[in-house]
Chain A
């Protein structure tokens, strides 16, 4: 049973560029959330996708956008990269949008460095 998988694992981008990160959820999961984790900090919620639509959003600018595909996989896009966007980007998957006790499982993350 595959867990949450993310790609790429590491990448370096230049300020102003755009980046796309990819995530495949755990088998059987239909909800994908993205988190940004700066060094020495806890993960910060970016947004959540369910049924191919953005359902929840954290306090992140419109430069951060996403997409969910019919197979539940997801992409995170960041435009006009800033140095402060350098972080570990984590994808988490879960089953269904509502209900108690729906554990979220994380992938290993994509390390983004903006130079």
Chain B
């Protein structure tokens, strides 16, 4: 079946350090992936996306890496700030539907 899952439910990092959030997916036909940030009581907010024909994409302070061989993607956040504290979801598109993992909670310690 379809699934997109994350390795760690909670990640704690020191302010200023880099954060790496990982995600595995099961459907090798997934052609498009998105990372979302969700703050408490709010809807998911788009962070960055990547197509399956790419293996890396960079945004402002964020980088997404895609490894299709092992069906794994990661979100790297540089110089993590307190405002980055939230739950992060990866979503993969397969058969024209998006599937989400259960999320990783990022705690940024001052």
Interface residues of A (CB under 8 A from B): 4, 33, 35, 40-45, 48, 55-56, 58, 88, 90, 92, 97-98, 100-109
From B43, B51, B96, B103, A108 is in contact (CB under 8 Å) with B43
Most chain A beta-carbon neighbours within 10 Å: one of B96, B102, B103:
B96
Query: Once the chains are docked, how many angstroms separate the CA of A33 from the CA of B99?
Result: 12
Q: Are A108 and B42 in contact (CB under 8 A)?
A: yes
Given A101-B32, A104-B34, A106-B36, A41 contacting B102 (CB threshold 8 A): yes
A45-B34 contact, Cβ under 8 Å, with A40-B102, A107-B43: no
Closest to A3 in B: B43
12 pairs, A vs B, C-beta closer than 8 Å? A42-B101, A42-B103, A45-B98, A48-B96, A58-B97, A90-B44, A98-B96, A100-B51, A103-B49, A106-B36, A106-B43, A109-B42
Question: Is B25 an interface residue, CB under 8 A from the partner?
Answer: no
- Check: B45 CB closer than 8 A to any chain A CB: yes
* Known A100-B31, A100-B51, A101-B49: A44·B100 in contact at CB below 8 Å: yes
0/1 string, B21-48, CB within 8 A of A gives 1: 0000000000110101000001111100
> What residues on A are CB-neighbors of B32 within 8 Å?
100-102
Cβ distance B38 to chain A, nearest Cβ, rounded Å: 9
A86 to chain B, nearest CB (A): 15
In the assembled complex, which residues on chain A have CB atoms less than 8 Å from the CB atom of B45? 106
Whole-angstrom distance between the Cβ of B83 and the nearest chain A Cβ: 18
Minimum C-beta distance from A70 to chain B (A): 23
Q: Bound complex: CA of A7 vs CA of B69, how far in Å?
A: 42
Contacts of A109 in B (CB 8 A): 42-43
A115 CA to B103 CA in the complex, in Å?
27
What's the nearest-Cβ distance from chain B to residue A3, in Å?
9
A43 touches B51 (CB 8 A): no
- The CA of A4 and the CA of B97, in the complex, are separated in Å by 19
CB-CB under 8 A from B46, the residues of chain A are 103, 105-106
A102 to B31, CA, bound (A): 11
